[in-house]
Amino acid sequence: MLRLMHVHAHPDDESSKGAATTAKYVAEGVDVHVVTCTGGERGSILNPRMDRPDVLANMSEIRRQEMARARDILGVRQDWLGFVDSGWPEGDPKPPLPEGCFALVPVEEAAAPLVRLMRSFKPHVVTTYDENGGYPHPDHVQCHRVTVAAFDAAGDPDRYPDAGEPWQPLKLYYHHTFNRPRMQALHDAMVAHDLESPYAERLEKWQRDPGWDARITTRVDCADYFGVRDQALLAHATQIDPDGHWFAIPREIQERVWPTEDYELAKSMVDTELPEEDLFAGIRDRVDVGPDLETAGEA
Query: 169-186: per-residue pLDDT in tens?
Result: 999 999 998 899 999 999
Residue 159, domain extent: 3-179+210-297
Residue 163 lies in a domain: yes
Per-residue pLDDT, 91 = 87
Mean pLDDT over 101-107 rounds to 98
pLDDT tier for residue 92 given thresholds of 50, 70 and 90? confident
Share of the chain above pLDDT 70, in %: 96
Is pLDDT of 292 > 70? no
Q: Which of 143-147, 272-276, 293-297 has the lowest mean pLDDT?
A: 293-297
**Domain containing residue 8: CATH number:** 3.40.50.10320
In a domain? residue 283: yes
Q: How far apart are CA 57 and CA 268, in angstroms?
A: 44
- Give a yes or no: residue 235 inside a domain: yes
Residue 196 in domain: no
Instruction: Tell me whether residue 66 is in a domain.
Output: yes
Q: Is the pLDDT of residue 299 over 70?
A: no
Secondary structure element (H or E) that encloses residue 295, with its range: helix 293-297
DSSP 276: B
- Would you state the pLDDT for residue 174? 98
> Which pLDDT does position 288 carry in this prediction?
62
Q: What is the pLDDT of residues 37-88, one digit of tens each?
A: 999 999 989 999 999 999 989 999 999 999 999 999 999 999 999 999 999 9
For residue 198, give the amino acid letter: P
In contact, 37 and 8? CB cutoff 8 Å: yes
- 275: cis peptide before it, omega within 30°? yes
* Alpha-carbon separation of residue 102 from 115, 159, 185, 243 (angstroms): 16, 22, 36, 31
Residue 207 has pLDDT above 90, yes or no: no
pLDDT band for position 297 (50/70/90)?
A: very low
CA distance 63 to 78: 14
Q: Which of 173, 175, 171 is nearest to 270 (CA)?
A: 171
Residue 275: which of 212, 213, 211, 216 has the closest Cα? 216
pLDDT of residue 286: 86
pLDDT value of residue 16: 97
- Give the residue-averaged pLDDT of 141-151: 98
Q: Please check whether residue 9 is in contact with residue 53, taking contact to mean a CB–CB distance below 8 angstroms.
A: no
Buried b (16+ CB within 10 A) or exposed e, 13-43: bbbbbbbbbbbbbbeeebbbbbbbbbbbbbb
Rounded average pLDDT over 252-275: 98
Share of the chain above pLDDT 90, in %: 88
C-alpha to C-alpha distance for 29 and 32, rounded to whole angstroms? 9
DSSP β-ladder status, 125-128 and 31-38: unpaired
Yes or no: say if 103 and 138 are a contact pair by the CB < 8 Å rule. yes
- Measured CA to CA, the distance from residue 131 to residue 45 in angstroms comes to 26
pLDDT of residue 289: 42
The number of residues making up the chain comes to: 299
Q: Is residue 11 part of a domain?
A: yes
Beta carbons of 250 and 196 less than 8 angstroms apart: no
Is residue 251 included in any domain, yes or no? yes
Q: Quote the number of domains for the chain.
A: 1
Q: Which helix (H) or strand (E) holds 261?
A: strand 260-268
Determine contact, residues 142/103, Cβ cutoff 8 Å. yes
- Contact between 40 and 12 under an 8 Å Cβ cutoff? The reply is yes
Q: Which is more confidently placed, 105 or 211?
A: 105
Report yes or no on 151 lying in a domain. Answer: yes
Neighbours of 240 (CB within 10 A): 22
Nearest to 240 by CA among 68, 11, 7: 11
pLDDT digits (tens, 9 = 90+) for 46-55: 999 999 999 9
* pLDDT reading at 210 higher than 90: no
Q: Give the model's pLDDT for residue 293.
A: 40
Residue 218: name the closest of 188, 177, 184, 189 by CA. Answer: 177
